[in-house]
Structure 1
Amino acid sequence: MTVDQPATSRHGAASENAGPRKAGPFDIRVVIAGLIGFYGTVLIIMGLVMDSAANRAKTGDVNANLWAGIGMAAVAAAFAISVRLRPVIIESPAQPMESVGPPR
């Protein structure tokens, strides 16, 4: 390897990110979709398993856990779809941080 060539990783790409890349699992929408989806799944299960006449009487004969869980699952799906359709693109810096001097 000469001085002019950048070091490469085991995949053959330059060690410094040469181009834009996706945020992937570090996108906040992935975290939000996961949390809302988890809680929605728990509510759906609770709505199906723990449904009783006493619980329905409290909510006006509506299975609140089931409907809230379905709504949360739909919101989580919307977040997941938005991550796939419009990923966040991270641009590589124009100048490496090491070569940037103190402000003057």
Structure 2
Amino acid sequence: MAEDDQKRVSAAARLFDVRRVIGGLFVVYGVIVTLLGIFDSPEEIDKAEGVRINLWMGLAMLALGLFFLLWLRLNPPKPPQIDESEEQ
């Protein structure tokens, strides 16, 4: 029984790790903003003084999100230990 509880707690810790949430959101928003930057109109580029700001910020967000997900992959969270004395 304790082994099942340990697996359940470990899976919950991995699922709700803040690096996964932040990395996933940055990747999704980075893809969206990058696509907007690729298809910017000349008026939008002129408004930003010739800089394709959506493209550059989208790529930066994508890189940051991938960094968070890589960090999670290389350094996974350690499962919390359940004390046998606390179980009743």
Please give the TM-score of this superposition, normalised by the length of structure 2.
0.81
Q: Secondary structure at the match of 2:6?
A: coil
Q: Which has the higher contact order (CA 8 A, sep 6+)?
A: 2
Q: Which has the larger radius of gyration?
A: 1
Amino acid at match of 1:39: Y
Tell me by how many angstroms 1:98 deviates.
4.6
Which structure is higher in helix share? 2
Please give the TM-score of this superposition, normalised by the length of structure 1.
0.70
Structure 2 unaligned residues grouped into runs of 5+: none
Q: Kindly indicate whether residue 29 of structure 2 is the aligned counterpart of residue 43 of structure 1.
A: no
Q: Kindly indicate whether residue 25 of structure 2 is the aligned counterpart of residue 27 of structure 1.
A: no
Match of 1:78 among 62, 67, 70: 67
Structure 1 unaligned residues grouped into runs of 5+: 1-6, 9-13, 100-104
Amino acid at match of 2:28: F
Aligned positions, number: 86
